[in-house]
Amino acid sequence: MLSVFRIATLSAVLILPFVAYSNEIRDPTMPYLYIIYPSDGATVRGAFWCRFGLRNMGVTHADDDFPNAGHHHLLIDVEESLSPREPIPQDKKHLHFGAGQTEARLDLSPGEHTLQLVLGDAKHRPFGEALVSKRIRITVEQRRARRADRIDHSTMDHYP
């Protein structure tokens, strides 16, 4: 006969992985904002394309007041939270994509950086916490300099 302790332990071992997994499952009908590329923890060299993802809502131009649609804002190295009642600032750390862009070429200084997307409404205000992506960390390595004085001898004619 199994003791109460063994039953409790067995139950915990069987149930906990399901509970942990179920907390990661998102409602497929809810809007979801995310960074497609680069991935969290990635190392990039020099300038790179940052690609934005959005599910169950539309991307539109700034000033377009369509229901269930907004435009992207990319926060670079921003740690403080945004006020939902105030427009998102526009500066080197708060990039606006009011033409409906879903990607941007970034050229960040070498080192560690954070990236986070925020979907803004027609007046550049955040839609709320539900439409803020996970903040990711990336490392930018310095691009290797090309040597202008290097000559490719393999294509040259050689004379004896």
Domain boundaries, the chain: 29-141
**Distances in whole angstroms, Cα of residue 137 to Cα of each of 73, 75, 129:** 17, 12, 19
- The answer to whether 51 and 102 have CB atoms below 8 angstroms apart is yes
> How far apart (Å, rounded) are the C-alpha atoms in residues 51 and 138?
14
What distance, in Å, lies between the first and last C-alpha atoms of the chain? Answer: 94
pLDDT at 140 over 90: yes
Per-residue model confidence as pLDDT tens digits over 46-59: 999 999 999 999 99
Question: Is pLDDT larger for residue 21 or for residue 97?
Answer: 97
Question: Residue 143 — very low, low, confident or very high, per pLDDT cuts 50/70/90?
Answer: confident
Coil/strand/helix, residue 108: coil
pLDDT value at position 49?
97
Q: For residue 12, what is the enclosing H or E element? A: helix 4-24
Closest CA to 140 of 77, 47, 73: 47
CATH topology assigned to domain 29-141:
Immunoglobulin-like (2.60.40)
Per-residue model confidence as pLDDT tens digits over 60-107: 999 999 999 999 999 999 999 898 889 999 999 999 999 999 999 999
